[in-house]
Amino acid sequence: MKISKKSEYGLRAMIYLAKNEGKVLPLSDISKKEKIPFHFLEKIILKLEKFGLVKAKKGFSGGYFLAKKPSQITVGKIMKALGENQPLVECLKYFCPKAKNCLAKNFWQRLNKAIESVLNSITLIDLIKER
């Protein structure tokens, strides 16, 4: 399984916002501190905002902040918002003509569920407390 740069950067940005909970942070600050390309971060934050994980404050002292408490935001929600909720293998995504007799399908389903379970069990608060 390979995690995209979008998800890697998105998680880092969300952790940064969680560490600074209660503050409104400009994207330029997040970009500099986390060494994330600004234009890429803009696209990531818009997806996270659309999914209800961050909110924007407009104006002179504007920026972004978490829409929920860090304890309510799981890594799984972040990954899903950024489009990483795809099954590990194609046969789990679509109807497969071999599904009835496939000996590997159960393994792929179990592995997929195990990964989802881990992603959905870890919150931002867990990550910032691990330090």
Q: 73, exposed or middle or buried, with CB in 10 Å at 0-12, 13-18, 19+?
A: buried
Mean pLDDT of 106-126: 91
Residue found under tokens 């870890």: 122
Quote the pLDDT of residue 131: 62
Work out whether strand 63-66 and strand 54-57 pair parallel, antiparallel, or are unpaired: antiparallel
pLDDT tier, 14 (very low <50, low <70, confident <90, very high otherwise): very high
Note the pLDDT of residue 9. Answer: 97
Span 5-129 CATH architecture: Orthogonal Bundle (1.10)
Supply the mean pLDDT for the chain: 90
Q: Domain-by-domain residue ranges, the chain?
A: 5-129
Contact 3, 115 (CB under 8 A): no
Per-residue pLDDT at 25: 97
Confidence bin at 120 (pLDDT 50/70/90): very high
Compute the average pLDDT of residues 114-129: 94
User: What is the model's pTM?
Assistant: 0.87
- pLDDT score at 71: 96
Instruction: Give the mean model confidence (pLDDT) for residues 115-129.
Output: 94
